[in-house]
Amino acid sequence: MVTHLKPYGGRAFSHLGTSIVFKQEPRAEEDVFLFEMRMPAGNGVPPHTERNKEAFYVLEGALEVEADGQRHRWRPASSFPSSPAFCTRFTTLARNGCTP
């Protein structure tokens, strides 16, 4: 089944300048968790694991992702799948690619 949601469409909340819109919420462990997140530079999510697969796709700005001990910097149009077994942390970067 394919579900199309408009930008900002879906269950949403905001916290400390970050907005999250849930696009597809998993019903089973094998489902993918899809969400749209907008964060100011320097905001991020501390190390954590998920029970579902995750995928990151950068629309604008830059994102630093640490997954399973490996650090990656992603720019617009780049993507990264994450396994439920990975311990993942991510931070948004300033336009020059450095944390503020």
Tell me which residue range forms the domain holding 23: 11-93
Q: What is the pLDDT of residue 95?
A: 60
CATH code of the domain covering residue 35? 2.60.120.10
Over range 55-71, report the average pLDDT: 85
Binned at pLDDT 50, 70 and 90, residue 100 comes out as very low
pLDDT at residue 42 above 70?
yes
Is residue 99 included in any domain, yes or no? Answer: no
Positive or negative torsion for Cα 85, 89, 93, 99: negative
Is residue 18 included in any domain, yes or no? Answer: yes
* Count of other CB atoms within 10 angstroms of residue 82: 20
HEC string of the chain equals CCCCCCCCCCEEEEECCEEEEEEECCCCCCCEEEEEEECCCCCEEEEECCCCEEEEECCCCEEEEEECCEEEEECCCCEEEECCCCCEEEEEECCCCCCC
pLDDT at residue 8 above 70?
no
